[in-house]
Amino acid sequence: MTTFATRRILTRYLAVIAIVLLAPLWLGNNAYNVSVAIGILMFALPALGAWLLLNCGIWSFGQGAFASLGAYTTALLLMRLGVLFWPALLAGGVVAAAVSLVLVYPFLRTSGVVFSILTLVGLSALDETILLTPPITGGGGGLIGVPAPPSVTVLGVNLATETGEYFIIALLLVLALAAVYCMDRAGYLRILRASAQNEDLAEAVGINTRQCRAAVFVFAAFLTGLAGAFSASYLQSVQPSVWDVFPSIYIVAYAIVGGVGSAFGPLLGTATIIFVASELSSSSATGSNGLLPILLGACLAAVVLILPGGMASIGSGVVGAGRRGKSRLRRGGV
Amino acid sequence: MAQVLTDFLVMGALYTLVAIGLSLVFSVMRIVNFAHAQMYMLGAYGTYLLYGQMRWPFVLAVPITAATVGAFGVACEFVIIRPVRQDPARAMISTLGLLLVLGGLALMVFGQNGRFAPEPLAGTVFALGSRIDPFQLADAGLATVVVGLLFSGLHFSRMGRALRAVAQDELGARLQGIDVGLIRTTGFAIGAALAALAGSLIMPLTTATPDMGNNILLDMFIIVVIGGLGSIWGAVVGAFVLALLQTVGVTYLGQFSILIVYLLVMLLLLVRPSGVLGYQST
């Protein structure tokens, strides 16, 4: 039953998943390279969530709030209650999704710019709450000494090592990509895009745009919460500044730079920007010397002005041109 | 008490300058200009360079900084907004890119540490039974004069009426023979200059830091959405409401006031997305 087109889509997903999982072979044992790669995937996961939101026409600049929620949940479960690593990680995502479920319907009463500003204000309110509750969250200093993943060897990789950490976040991203693949195959992505392109028309053909957006918002919050939860355990600390306003803006920017049209855009955008910035500055992936925002901002403007489809459209643009050429030939034949 | 009142006036006046600029750009161009916050930062650094480093008189450094940033705004409008002006979402992304680039450049050029310049007016003034910094009063006064000039300009000058016409109805304005492209550029330049002016005026009171644009980003959005996007009067109201909550609120409610501000703003937006004086929400 699988047609050529669907098999090609599956092949692409499998290829990207293979690249993500096989990257440690290329990175080797260089701890710095692996840490950059972890930084990339840690932001690619929320960027995938932001990408889904962009596809249904939602601009959320407050995704960091869900990452913070996930990070603090997991950190507190690991430190105070001694919960095992995997359940605590999952709980981070679940708490973020639960909070987003409470917020999403009131938030979706607004749209456009007001929604974006609402997400920004919501994130700031959460940050402020964190600062005001030092007994629980450690306030501005955050929580320090979050336990690392258990020192268990799975398939020859110790999870407590840098490479092990890489595989944990890679696993989360691969599962998320698999979920997006299923959404793609089920035609759900097309429904999202329809509701973004013309809401009235989408409603007219029977799409419940509000519910679609709500579902995507909660799923994106879940992915972002997982990334935050992972960051708590990987950095062995939680600080409100890690998932602040600007990281939240970066998350959306990575998705745009990579390309809103392709599910691999978020990973591509995040990987390119963070990799180049880290190569140029040879500092940490979050970058405090201004290089990362300059690079990201320049790419953002360049994508908007020159390449609306983002980086992912560079390759497919060639393919698309070829296809157009063929169809023109066919039309000529008739 | 008098100090809190002065702080409130200065903050309200400077917020007004920033917010009016943002609102003006939104009403004329229908885009949300994220880079507006960095014009404020550029104003502060411009004043630092001219007044703090090169020892120009403050009254000369401020207008020249504002004019230079206004000209820079024109260049930005031509390069990053004009090509995508048909699509507000894309224009918003390119201003977001400009925000990140300018913030990063400032960090690279000036470093993380704040740049300091002495206050131009020495001495103290006694009013309401306590000491008040005369420079703060001068700041508030100057900002009020500029806002007054802007309002009369918008209402009585040919250019101001053209700006308001474009804000109300672009097609109608075009039919009246108004050069909409020129008006958009002018609006953007005025907006940038106003933000730079606010940055210039506040610079001697604090320090110029690469984060100052990033820090005012949220405040400026809160102000314009409280007042209603695109409403100039709304921006004034929003600026003073936020300044009131941040000065008097912090004094009497303590550290919880900022959180209360955020929660109130969220509530306001959920109940009335178009703001207090907003005529539309886009």
- CATH number of the structural domain spanning residue A154: 1.10.3470
Contact A297 B214 (CB under 8 A): no
Q: CA–CA separation, B47 vs B64, rounded Å? A: 9
pLDDT given for residue A319 in this prediction: 37
For residue A25, pLDDT beyond 50: yes
pLDDT given for residue B190 in this prediction: 93
Helix or strand run (H / E) with residue A153:
strand A153-154
For residue B274, pLDDT beyond 50: yes
The pLDDT tens digits of the residues spanning A116-141 come to 888 999 999 998 888 888 888 877 77
pLDDT given for residue A45 in this prediction: 94
Number of folded domains in chain A? 1
Between residues A309 and B257, which one has the greater pLDDT?
B257
Task: Spell A40-75 as b/e; 16+ CB within 10 A means b.
Answer: bbbbbbbbbbbbbbbbbbbbbbbbbbbbbbbbbbbb
pLDDT given for residue A313 in this prediction: 75
Spell out which residues of chain A touch residue B107, defining contact as CB-CB under 8 Å: 288-290, 293
pLDDT, chain A, mean: 82
Q: Tell me the CB-side half-sphere exposure of residue B140, using CA atoms within 13 A.
A: 15
Q: Tell me the CB-side half-sphere exposure of residue B100, using CA atoms within 13 A.
A: 29
Q: Which residues pair with B17 in a beta bridge?
A: none
pLDDT-derived band at A318 (thresholds 50, 70, 90) equals very low
The pLDDT tens digits of the residues spanning A71-80 come to 999 999 988 8
The pLDDT tens digits of the residues spanning B181-191 come to 888 899 999 99
Classify residue A220 by burial, with Cβ atoms within 10 Å: 0-12, 13-18, 19+. buried
Contact B108 A109 (CB under 8 A): no
Question: Which residue of B103, B258, B270 is in closest CB contact with A128?
Answer: B258
pLDDT-derived band at B15 (thresholds 50, 70, 90) equals very high
Taking CB atoms and an 8 Å cut-off, how many pairs form between chains A and B?
Answer: 129
Between residues A2 and A311, which one has the greater pLDDT?
A311
Residue B92 in contact with residue A116, Cβ under 8 Å? no
Residues A26-41, mean pLDDT to the nearest whole number? 84
pLDDT-derived band at A315 (thresholds 50, 70, 90) equals low
The pLDDT tens digits of the residues spanning A181-228 come to 888 888 788 888 888 878 788 888 878 888 888 899 999 999 999 999
pLDDT given for residue A330 in this prediction: 33
**Contacts by residues A207-212 (CB-CB < 8 Å, ≥ 24 positions apart):** A209/A56, A210/A108, A212/A56
pTM of the model: 0.87
Percentage of the residues of chain A whose pLDDT score is greater than 90: 23
Contact B218 A245 (CB under 8 A): yes
Q: CA–CA separation, A237 vs A251, rounded Å? A: 21
Spell out which residues of chain A touch residue B270, defining contact as CB-CB under 8 Å: 106-107, 109-110, 118
Q: Tell me the CB-side half-sphere exposure of residue B152, using CA atoms within 13 A.
A: 5
Question: Which residue of A132, A290, A304 is in closest CB contact with B259?
Answer: A132
Which pair of structure tokens corresponds to residue A278?
């880290």
Any idea which of A101-115, A300-314, B14-28 has the lowest mean pLDDT?
A300-314
Domain carrying residue A175 = 4-333
The answer, for B172 touching chain A at a CB cutoff of 8 Å, is no
The answer, for A197 touching chain B at a CB cutoff of 8 Å, is no
Q: CA–CA separation, A217 vs A49, rounded Å? A: 8
For residue A329, pLDDT beyond 60: no
The answer, for A108 touching chain B at a CB cutoff of 8 Å, is no
Q: CA–CA separation, B227 vs B94, rounded Å? A: 25
Place of tokens 């008040």: B132
Which pair of structure tokens corresponds to residue A44?
């690619």
